[in-house]
Amino acid sequence: MLILLAFIIVFHITSAALLFISTIDNAWWVGDNFSTDVWRMCDTNTSTCMAITDEFNEYQSIQAVQATMILSTIFCCVAFLVFILQLFRLKQGERFVLTSVIQLLSCLCVMIAASIYTDRHEDLHQSHGYRMEVSKGQYGYSFVLAWIAFAFTLISGVMYLVLRKRK
């Protein structure tokens, strides 16, 4: 039982780490001489970065991705704290339903963020606000990590729903 508990905790912390990295790191869309994320665009040749502001055509889409990724990370961290509290407060045989619901909300938020970015990426990278041509890029590892975090949060949310407290 202790090994299962350790696995669940490590799995949850891994999910949170993936969410933090995918939200913060600058690699949602990358090219030969640039990288961009939901916060800024960086020119790797000159090592300069430019914040993504409301001068971009699809700024509302970027804000939606920003908000849902932040919410996802917050929900994942709150779910971990609730899980720790429920370990000590639940009676034997009860399920971790509250933790599961919060973790599934995290899953929903990261899915919404990655889906919006997937759907709007062509319009996002055609904006005239960029100083350089960014339309000829590809999805970066932060974008991939966001989808992996979606799978991890979904699995852990279902795992908490099935899990019962034992001695």
Q: Which DSSP state fits 126?
A: T
- Exposure string (b/e) for 45-79, b if CB count within 10 Å is 16 or more? eeeeeeebeeebebeebbebbbebbebbbebbbeb
State pTM to two decimals: 0.89
CATH of residue 65's domain is 1.20.140.150
Q: Which DSSP state fits 95?
A: B
Number of domains in the chain: 1
Per-residue pLDDT of the chain (167 residues; tens, 9 = 90+): 778 888 999 999 999 999 999 999 888 888 888 888 888 888 877 888 888 878 777 788 889 999 999 999 999 999 999 999 998 888 877 888 999 999 999 999 999 999 999 998 777 777 666 666 677 888 999 999 999 999 999 999 999 888 876 66
Residue-number span of the structural domain to which 88 is assigned: 1-165
